[in-house]
Structure 1
Amino acid sequence: MSNKQTRTDVILIGAGIMSATLGTLLKELVPDWEITVFEKLANAGEESSNEWNNAGTGHAALCELNYTVEKPDGSIDISKAIKINEQFQVSTQFWSYLVNRNLIRNPQDFIMPLPHMSLVQGEQNVTFLKKRFEALSNNPLFQGMEFSDDPGKLMEWLPLIMKERTSNEPIAATKIDSGTDVNFGALTRMLFDHLKSKNVDIKFKHNIDDIKRTSDGSWELKVRNVDSGKVERHTAKFVFIGGGGGSLHLLQQSGIPEGKHIGGFPVSGLFMVCNNPDVVAQHHAKVYGKAKVGAPPMSVPHLDTRFIDNKKSLLFGPFAGFSPKFLKTGSMFDLLGTVKPNNVLTMLSAGAKNVPLTKYLIEQVMLSKEKRMEELREFIPNAKSEDWDIVVAGQRVQVIKDTAAGKGTLQFGTEVVSAADGSIAALLGASPGASTAVHVMLEVIKKCFPQHVKAWEPKIKEMIPSYGMSLVENPELIDEIHTSTAQTLGLEGKKQYAYA
């Protein structure tokens, strides 16, 4: 064991999209701060941020039906859709800033224009989709959205899905061309390459064994080199825990009161992937359906065109599953290891409340490939089993905590937990996650560096022109941002309809 101790200004745990984004923001705001990154794996963006471990959707609520809820009076609540759309616009503005200053290059390597569509079947669902379309299309953030229940028009939009469809059930879709496919793995690696050029110390294959508070209020990390077993101690005034599913365990180790009474429930995912060029050429969109009754929101079925390593493929899923691991590369004891005296009642309450979810996940685990093909054929009636393979996606840990809704409430979303003094923060949760990384990390900055925010504001506004403003209340700013980001990121005039 080594007694070597190193002091730095900021420590980022985990080399995913969140740490990459926070590190890049801080380097723009305070270039002279020293930043160290620790990652257990050999490369950046290998867990949740990896392109094969997430859906690659630029989540802007253009097609995800779970962001628009039907209220008891039959009207559609679009407040969450507006919020998520505005948060995604924050990300595109920041990425544009980085491209414009040559801090990252070749945006087509991480973002591509791709229509986003919602597809539903059945009279009740068609009525819902039409109401949703009317509510959204009147909003300046969702300009350009189209609705159709005409089979001829749907065949034009969705040839692969409509071909050989024999059902007489009503079917409808909405389409908006301003959607995107985002390769978060590629973006994460670009950002870490940039940080390395700015003298950020990135240590791969380094695991955090312990986190504790020192007498002067700093945080001391016991860090182990995975290969050599050598242990070092690193101290920082501020620590960000961005370790995906591994964040909960590290938050608990910190001992901060804000981390108590919080648990995690892991959900694993599988996708079906098609690389047959004849099939791939017939579909050019991200098409989201409705989640089955009892299914978690992140299990909404969708058929996606993906651009990975300059290759176009189709993904369908996700099929949910259960594993006690909190990371794809984690341990079978991860779930058990996070059950503590302060959260055991919270966890048990969640278990009692979510019996249907548990049953659903067990059923999903038991599905054969042919059963999964049957679900795929609800989207693509003539799908052939030999054209599709199974890819194991990432683990997502849903937050469990006590809320006004009751003890042990399962949270579907992204949450930041930070100490009262702002010296440590952890990111927990899942979707829309990566798409809203810039917004989420700006929230971390506001919470953890309140004494600096006023001085940093001009620079933040330079990076994100809409910072501090509501886009929905400034339609002219929406047009300006859409035009400039589309131009910078190469999202304009590139409609690649293979069937047009």
Structure 2
Amino acid sequence: MTHTIKSLVKETDVVLMGAGIMSATLGMMLKELDPDITIQIFERLDEAGTESSDAWNNAGTGHSAFCELNYTPQKPDGSINIYKATRIAESFELSREFWAYLVQKKYIQPHEFITQVPHISLVWGEDNVTYLKKRYDLMQESPLFRGMIYTEDRDRMSEWAPVVMRGRKSTQTVAATCMDIGTDVNFGNLTRCMIRQLEQMPGVTIHYNTEALDLDPDGTGGWDVFVRNLLNRKKEKCNSRFVFIGAGGATLHLLKRAEISERKGYGGFPVSGLWLKCLNEELVAKHHAKVYGKASVGAPPMSVPHVDTRMINGRKELLFGPFAGFSTKFLKNGSLMDLPSSIRPDNAIPMIFAGLKNMPLTKYLIEQVRQTPEERHAALREYIPFTKLTDWELKEAGQRVQVIKKDKEKGGVLEFGTEVVVSKDGTVAALLGASPGASTAAAVMLDLITRCFGVEGKAEKWQTKLKEMVPSFGVSLSENEGQLETTRKRTAEILQLKKA
């Protein structure tokens, strides 16, 4: 897409680096809280939401912890921890509330980004069935998961996911759970809808094909931001009192250039992905669910295998994967020097320790990279037993950078989640990591606003507006069943989803 080169605004209240789901969410929230606030957004590509937020690149679209088994890990003693699943499910409800607010304001339309798609967990083997039943029983204690159904009835599973059950051996022990209120969210479309709305608002300037290069303290509590237009190679500088770095894999590089003590010790480990995309329209039509299984030992969370219904560019698609890979790039459109150039004196030791302690992950990635088409098809047939190799084609997915950080006891640890790094004075914030990412954008940005806009955030005007945008902000929905039921019913109606 061709965009007009816009003049740089020399003085601005807020700079957002990257035009992905996080920047779009933060930008919309800030403009609703303060219509007079001025914002500049810098995006190195020629369109918003085309890197990690894009529907083809996103490992999971609609993470709400209903079916993703990696969010409910089993400990060595056999117990199961559902804390992370509860937090993610609560956060997703806040996202739904914010999207509903945007729909009511006529900023976006539901059909552009969200579709009701059941979320199913399916496992086989005695140990895995025992795990799933134990997980189900535990999750029933929370109102967030009360609508979940557990079954070992093959006929019922065939109703939920006929494509997955057809041809499965009758001797195989199998079980599944289903949450009918699950959704598929096209975060690429959602991002672009929000960015288009922001472009129409006074005081917002979006610069495409523009790369953020550096940021330096200006000596008065603000930041000088240096950028380069990739079309005419012109370098310029603007000044801002607040900077958010939400540039996906490029965030780590930019954070390292910010002169804040909080940046020290952070590193990144890139993981790429591949999908098998279904070419058989009959299979695509028959399957309507997100069916998640259990990840292989050593696999990163973004590689939890699933048979995934998605709406992309107005078409129903069926994907399987993602298969993990390795590239030293931090972005799909990045450089092979991204990883080597990210190693600094302050993060070298944490990265070395994290690497040594995650040899199973390294082994797993090597095995994934070396897979043949036949080996990928064999993995697929565990989920769709009768399918043919010719029914599928390989498609490149996105690039993720998992967070590596200092640890006093272990030297360095590899984190499989998202983390917001905020300067002591709250003038710079950066989002690192991947899963669950996009699905929790509203909750993450609400927390960021609280931390970085403390004075304004505590004012009655902002508090009232925050409650209007996200009514459950500050409420534990896992402990307030009445409000949960109310908000699910309300947002389902506004977002034109089946009645919750």
How far apart, CA to CA, are the structure 2 residues paired with 1:23 and 1:174? 37
Does the alignment pair 1:483 with 2:492? no
Q: 2:29 aligns with which of 25, 29, 34?
A: 25
Q: Is the CA contact 1:219–1:239 (under 8 Å) kept in the aligned structure 2? A: yes
- CA shift at 1:313, angstroms? 1.3
Does the alignment pair 1:228 with 2:232? yes
TM-score, normalised relative to structure 2? 0.96
How far apart, CA to CA, are the structure 2 residues paired with 1:77 and 1:194? 40
Q: Which residue of 1 aligns with 2:286?
A: 282
Q: Which residue of 1 aligns with 2:375?
A: 371
Q: Is the CA contact 2:301–2:435 (under 8 Å) kept in the aligned structure 1? A: no
Between 30-39 and 47-56, the greater mean CA deviation after superposition: 47-56
- CA shift at 1:473, angstroms? 1.4
Q: Which residue of 2 aligns with 1:498?
A: none
1:431-490 deviations in Å (ceiling 9; x for gaps): 100000011111111111111111111110111111111111111101100000000001
Structure 1 unaligned segments of length 5 or more: list them.
495-500
How far apart, CA to CA, are the structure 2 residues paired with 1:171 and 1:39? 46
Q: 1:137 aligns with which of 140, 160, 176?
A: 140
Q: Quick one: which amino acid aligns to residue 468 of structure 2?
A: E
Q: Which residue of 2 aligns with 1:243?
A: 247
How far apart, CA to CA, are the structure 1 residues paired with 2:234 and 2:13? 23
SS of 1:279's equivalent in the other structure is helix
Does the alignment pair 1:398 with 2:402? yes
1:146-173 deviations in Å (ceiling 9; x for gaps): 1111222222222111111126221110
- CA shift at 1:297, angstroms? 2.0
Between 426-435 and 154-163, the greater mean CA deviation after superposition: 154-163
1:340-386 deviations in Å (ceiling 9; x for gaps): 01111111111211122111101101111111011000000111111
How far apart, CA to CA, are the structure 1 residues paired with 2:218 and 2:289? 52
How far apart, CA to CA, are the structure 2 residues paired with 1:50 and 1:154? 31
Q: 1:27-46 alignment to 2 at 5 Å?
A: 27-46=31-50
How far apart, CA to CA, are the structure 1 residues paired with 2:279 and 2:146? 33
How far apart, CA to CA, are the structure 2 residues paired with 1:359 and 1:143? 38
SS of 2:286's equivalent in the other structure is coil
Q: Quick one: which amino acid aligns to residue 31 of structure 2?
A: K
How far apart, CA to CA, are the structure 2 residues paired with 1:471 and 1:117? 22
Q: 1:370/1:62 Cα in 2 relative to 1: closer, same or farther (>3 Å)? A: same
Q: Which residue of 2 aligns with 1:472?
A: 478
Q: Is the CA contact 2:303–2:323 (under 8 Å) kept in the aligned structure 1? A: yes
Q: Which residue of 1 aligns with 2:433?
A: 429
Q: Which residue of 2 aligns with 1:112?
A: 115
- CA shift at 1:54, angstroms? 0.7
Q: Is the CA contact 1:56–1:184 (under 8 Å) kept in the aligned structure 2? A: no
Q: 1:357 aligns with which of 347, 358, 361?
A: 361
Q: Quick one: which amino acid aligns to residue 110 of structure 1?
A: F
Does the alignment pair 1:96 with 2:100? yes
Q: Which residue of 1 aligns with 2:192?
A: 189
How far apart, CA to CA, are the structure 2 residues paired with 1:180 and 1:275? 23
Q: Is the CA contact 1:13–1:39 (under 8 Å) kept in the aligned structure 2? A: yes
Percent identity (aligned):
55
Q: 1:118-197 alignment to 2 at 5 Å?
A: 118-166=121-169, 168-197=171-200
- CA shift at 1:73, angstroms? 4.6
Does the alignment pair 1:342 with 2:346? yes
How far apart, CA to CA, are the structure 2 residues paired with 1:163 and 1:405? 49
Between 64-73 and 271-280, the greater mean CA deviation after superposition: 64-73
Structure 2 unaligned segments of length 5 or more: list them.
1-6
How far apart, CA to CA, are the structure 2 residues paired with 1:357 and 1:491? 38
- CA shift at 1:403, angstroms? 2.7
Q: Is the CA contact 1:56–1:182 (under 8 Å) kept in the aligned structure 2? A: no
Q: Quick one: which amino acid aligns to residue 208 of structure 2?
A: F
SS of 1:189's equivalent in the other structure is helix
TM-score, normalised relative to structure 1? 0.96
How far apart, CA to CA, are the structure 2 residues paired with 1:335 and 1:27? 35
How far apart, CA to CA, are the structure 2 residues paired with 1:123 and 1:166? 15
Structure 1 consecutive aligned stretches of length 4 or more whose deviation exceeds 3 Å: 71-75
Q: Quick one: which amino acid aligns to residue 454 of structure 1?
A: K
Q: 2:423 aligns with which of 409, 415, 419?
A: 419
Q: Which residue of 1 aligns with 2:3?
A: none
Q: Is the CA contact 1:123–1:169 (under 8 Å) kept in the aligned structure 2? A: no
Between 456-465 and 402-411, the greater mean CA deviation after superposition: 402-411
How far apart, CA to CA, are the structure 2 residues paired with 1:23 and 1:472? 28
Q: Quick one: which amino acid aligns to residue 118 of structure 1?
A: S
Q: Is the CA contact 1:350–1:409 (under 8 Å) kept in the aligned structure 2? A: yes
Q: Quick one: which amino acid aligns to residue 150 of structure 1?
A: D
How far apart, CA to CA, are the structure 2 residues paired with 1:349 and 1:87? 32
Q: Quick one: which amino acid aligns to residue 434 of structure 1?
A: A
Q: Is the CA contact 2:268–2:404 (under 8 Å) kept in the aligned structure 1? A: yes
How far apart, CA to CA, are the structure 1 residues paired with 2:127 and 2:359? 27
Q: Is the CA contact 1:307–1:313 (under 8 Å) kept in the aligned structure 2? A: yes
SS of 2:249's equivalent in the other structure is helix
How far apart, CA to CA, are the structure 1 residues paired with 2:268 and 2:20? 19
Q: 1:289-328 alignment to 2 at 5 Å?
A: 289-328=293-332
Q: Is the CA contact 2:401–2:433 (under 8 Å) kept in the aligned structure 1? A: yes
How far apart, CA to CA, are the structure 2 residues paired with 1:73 and 1:13? 44
Count of residues in correspondence between the two structures: 491
- CA shift at 1:56, angstroms? 4.6
Q: Quick one: which amino acid aligns to residue 236 of structure 2?
A: E
Q: Is the CA contact 2:61–2:187 (under 8 Å) kept in the aligned structure 1? A: no
Q: Is the CA contact 2:13–2:241 (under 8 Å) kept in the aligned structure 1? A: yes
1:100-131 deviations in Å (ceiling 9; x for gaps): 11122x21110000000000010010011011
1:195-227 deviations in Å (ceiling 9; x for gaps): 011131000001112211112121111111101
Q: Is the CA contact 1:56–1:183 (under 8 Å) kept in the aligned structure 2? A: no
How far apart, CA to CA, are the structure 2 residues paired with 1:493 and 1:5? 46
1:271-296 deviations in Å (ceiling 9; x for gaps): 11113211112211000000011212
Q: 1:139/1:171 Cα in 2 relative to 1: closer, same or farther (>3 Å)? A: same
